[in-house]
Amino acid sequence: MYGSRGGLPFNCTDIDICKFFAGLDIVDVLLVNKNGRFSGEAFVVFAGPIQVEFALQRDRQNMGRRYVEVFRCKRQDYYNAVASEVNYEGIYDNDFHGSPPPSRAKRYNDKDQMEHTEILKMRGLPFSVKKSEIVQFFKDYKIIEDKIHIACRPDGKATGEAYVEFVSVEEAKRAMCKDKMTIGSRYVELFPSTPDEARRAESRSRQ
């Protein structure tokens, strides 16, 4: 089921939305961009109709200094928003800082300049993603299945990121071809990462 919200702070993140709906079962969050800027609206996908009813009870509660409107929307509105994010050249970025994201070509170039290891970072994953879905996503590449780490906050909520180790640096580079492809309704960004970054994410999850 789908809920949508308006009037969000412009520095809002997925994590802020999860905190706002604390205790509810969120499947996906999509922050809406218009012309490269966060619009103050988001779509939130809940696990079922009862969860949506609870979410609607939080209408006009505050996030920071702003009250937030919570209302139902049509599935098609959500699908259209997902399609717009995938097709938009600027590419949706969780680390939005108030200026339009760089063009797709520049982002690819930036990634090409990064030093590769055997590890790739995945970002933009559905919050409900399972390890088996990541294995399927990389089915054409040689990964080390017991070296997949889905990043979580200390309270156990997923962050939408994961770290995947491949059998070699060359295989990780090859797998970058999957950058911007989808898992479920979300397209996934891939970045070269390091063992240190993956270990830090894992230790944060265990705190």
**Domain coordinates in residue numbering, the chain:** 2-87, 104-206
Task: Fill in the DSSP letter of residue 63.
Answer: E
The hierarchical CATH code for the domain 2-87 is: 3.30.70.330
Burial class (CB in 10 A: 0-12, 13-18, 19+), 113: exposed
Judged by DSSP in three states, 34 sits in strand
pTM for this one? 0.52
pLDDT in tens, 60-96: 998 888 889 998 988 888 877 777 765 553 443 444 3
- What is the rounded CA–CA span in Å between residue 204 and residue 153? 7
Q: Tell the CATH topology of 104-206.
A: Alpha-Beta Plaits (3.30.70)
Q: What is the pLDDT of residue 87?
A: 56
